A = this chain, B = another copy of it.
């Protein structure tokens, strides 16, 4: 097996995740690497030290251009790459790459994006997801997670997006509120999940909906091991409800891996979104990094 010559090192570098790619001159991925050097785990290492620590083997190429996306470009990252406003094209993003201070490496960082939601003044931000989106093409995408994003890409332009505090809300309610007290031995209960989705689609008040996790448990209508699925359905259903109201039923791409993506697919299918595709998050990130590097002339 032969590879094109290495041309670019790139990484999706977030608060917890770090995914490193080595690209050949034709955009093929020659090598991949993940490491436990998310922003939360840097300890006393500088960003340059952390990056150098993983540039071994195939990646031992400090001469190559390096492109980074994600929280590494935030105010608390290596260097701030200020948010660009939506609508934003690949060319807009590539024109605003920021050079990180480093004596030994040639590092450019992808800016994050900001967007006003439908209600005036309600601001949304993303860092890293814009790169994944540029690796996917046109469509409506949901990027589930701590702070889920729903974005619309048209003609290779990210038109806008909304944020939902879904994943974090699930964690704090489960861990820190009275709702978690009744949960026990969590299992994936499809029926309880869909009940949650249905109620979120039908009802008007999130603060009332979440209180029902308590009463459903208290009256024994939902078993302790299924309450977590019910809460998850309420949360994901609330997201889908808002998007349905704003933008209607459309083909949707889910970006991400594992069980969370499957839950979103289940909820979307259940609520009438029949055309739903799951995209691998790593592949999307790699595709976007390569596209930005080309557009920004980091590679020929």
A238: contacting residue among B123, B206, B219, CB under 8 A? B206
In the complex, are the beta carbons of A239 and B207 less than 8 A apart?
Answer: yes
Q: Give A188-222 interface residues, CB cut-off 8 Å to B.
A: 199, 202-212, 214-216, 218-219, 221
Instruction: Give CA–CA (A199, B178) in the complex, Å.
Output: 27
In the complex, are the beta carbons of B208 and A117 less than 8 A apart?
Answer: yes
Chain-B contact segment, one of A57-65, A159-167, A272-280: A159-167
Instruction: Give CA–CA (A216, B122) in the complex, Å.
Output: 8
Interface string of A212-236 (1 = CB under 8 A from B): 1011101101000000000000010
Chain B residues lying within 8 Å of A245, measured Cβ to Cβ, are 204
Q: Give A47-91 interface residues, CB cut-off 8 Å to B.
A: none
Please give me the residue from chain B that is nearest to A238 by CB atom.
B207
Chain-B contact segment, one of A35-43, A168-176, A291-299: A168-176
Give 14 A-B contacts (CB < 8 Å), ordered by A residue: A114-B215, A119-B199, A121-B221, A122-B215, A123-B216, A125-B215, A147-B211, A162-B208, A164-B211, A172-B172, A172-B177, A204-B246, A205-B241, A207-B242
A residues neighboring B (CB under 8 Å): 114, 117-119, 121-125, 147-148, 162-166, 168-169, 172-173, 175-178, 199, 202-212, 214-216, 218-219, 221, 235, 238-239, 241-242, 245-246
